Amino acid sequence: MAELRALTQEQLARAEQRLRHPAPGSRIEAAREYGIDMTLLIEQLRLTPAERARKLESASTAMERVRGVARRRS
């Protein structure tokens, strides 16, 4: 399995440029027109894979706490 690494500054700049200024008719443009917030994607790309995993785990843990509280109140 390939090791996941953070994007280089060059890769990040290229990805950010494509997300902020998508080519006409591209899937990125269609996603943006649909309402996808490209700034959130850019924010995630600036994180390392480990940082993204930690954020996901934290959000998952918080959601499980909310579910637990909701179950107890039912």
Q: What is the pLDDT along the chain (74 residues), one digit of tens a residue?
A: 778 888 899 999 999 999 999 999 999 999 999 999 999 999 999 999 999 999 999 999 999 999 988 888 87
Burial letters for 41-54: b for 16+ Cβ neighbours within 10 Å, e otherwise? Answer: beeeeeeeeeeeee
Q: What is the pTM of this model?
A: 0.72
Q: Which residue has the tokens 């006409």?
A: 24
- DSSP for residue 36: -
pLDDT of residue 71: 83
